[in-house]
Amino acid sequence: MSEKYSIPLDDLLRLLVRNEGSDLHMRAGEPPLFRIHGDLRRTNFPPVTPENIKDIVYPIMGPDRIARYERDLECDLAYQIKGLARFRVNVFKQQDSVGFVMRLIPIRVQTLDELGLPPVLKEIATLPRGLVLVTGPTGSGKSTTLAAMVNHINELMPVHIITIEDPIEFMHEDKVAALNQREVEMDTHSFAEGLRHVMRQNPDVILVGEMRDNETMQLAITAAETGHLVFSTVHTTDAAQTIDRIVDVFEPERQEQIRMQLAVTMQAVISMTLLPRVDQTGRVAAFEIMIATPAIRNLIREQKTHQIPGTIQTGAELGMQTLDNHLLQLYRDGVVSYEMALSKSSNPSEFSARAGGGRETEELMSAAPGEV
């Protein structure tokens, strides 16, 4: 029988929360690692053995998930410490031993205002129908943003909201709306299977945790076409890439039809990335926001997605913004560094020219009092 690891899992997670961390990483031969404000840091605890990891994670999985993990070599689940937080857990095989990562999910869903998100997201959240996509790399805040948008609907509108998630992350309680949250593998077999039957559940708003395959994408588009407001996520970096990615998932003979459907159903694409702050501890989100105006719909229909950034640039009065404009504003406001903003920009050479090659900060720092 293996010797138990000296630090219980719940104690590690409490320490993670106390240090404002977002993720716990565990793998054999290493001490536990915390991701804090975007950076991965090794703790001073002893390294864990393969047996330690199995002893730590198997009890929170249960027999069904253990069987699924041993069959598929991957498993997703949620874990909660009462009064502290929920955690999204991914268990995986690495070098023939178990590894896992736990992502912190706050128990209380923050509002759009508390998160400092763009005001136009309130308007997008209360649209009557259509497809709204939140995009960005893993860990960029997509789930948090979507939860805040669902919470906004829940506070204002007497509608039926159904979420299909893998796993359920943020737990919502009924306010003005009625919510049903379904978990893949527990309450439905897959995103596609959940969507296939969702129409019979009389929803007004549907949230699909992720559009992973063309069947899920087609069903989500069809749900938006039939008068529902559909939210989902895609791992893309901007609006133009998002449209192209969805179209390219389908067979060539179906792509024209999908493009036409997207031109009709698409309401908004919200692309985001997180950057470390320099004005205080923590991170800040930078956004590209595309609203589906008639001009945008024409570009989607006519296969001219490369022109979308230019149209976003001219749509500021509608709440649209390019990522580079937001990055430039964050840099000029002293929230993020020039180097970090440049690394996240869509067009680094143009961004560098507009930001003066980083000289603006130096000039502001060296200006005499009263000159700024």
Question: Which of 61, 79, 106 lies at the terminal end of a domain, its last residue?
Answer: 106
- Mark whether 70 and 177 lie in a shared domain: no
Q: Which domain holds residue 101?
A: 9-106
Q: What pLDDT does 360 receive?
A: 54
Q: Which helix (H) or strand (E) holds 75?
A: strand 74-81
CA pair distance 290, 113, nearest whole angstrom: 20
- Mark whether 132 and 244 lie in a shared domain: yes
Block means of pLDDT (10 residues each) for the chain, length 372 residues?
83 96 96 94 95 95 93 93 93 95 92 95 97 94 96 98 94 97 92 94 96 94 96 95 96 97 98 94 94 98 96 95 96 96 93 83 46 39
Give per-residue burial for 70-95: e unless 16+ CB within 10 Å, then b.
eeeeebbbbbeeeebbbbbbebeeee
Q: What pLDDT does 358 receive?
A: 74
- Mark whether 156 and 279 lie in a shared domain: yes
- Mark whether 127 and 265 lie in a shared domain: yes
- Mark whether 184 and 87 lie in a shared domain: no
Tell me, yes or no, whether 191 lies in a domain: yes
Residue 228 CB partners (closer than 8 Å, separation 6+): 129, 203, 204, 205, 206
By C-alpha distance, which of 211, 81, 105, 231 is closest to 168? 105
Could you tell me the CATH number of the domain that includes residue 210? 3.40.50.300
- Mark whether 155 and 264 lie in a shared domain: yes
- Mark whether 125 and 265 lie in a shared domain: yes
Q: What pLDDT does 2 receive?
A: 63
Q: What pLDDT does 1 receive?
A: 53
- Mark whether 90 and 127 lie in a shared domain: no
Name the domain count of the chain: 2
- Mark whether 69 and 217 lie in a shared domain: no
Half-sphere exposure of residue 150: CA atoms within 13 angstroms, side-chain side? 33
- Mark whether 163 and 48 lie in a shared domain: no
Tell me, yes or no, whether 163 lies in a domain: yes
Q: What pLDDT does 188 receive?
A: 95
CA pair distance 189, 10, nearest whole angstrom: 30
Q: What pLDDT does 197 receive?
A: 94
- Mark whether 102 and 163 lie in a shared domain: no
Q: Which helix (H) or strand (E) holds 120?
A: helix 120-125
Question: Which of 56, 71, 106 lies at the terminal end of a domain, its last residue?
Answer: 106
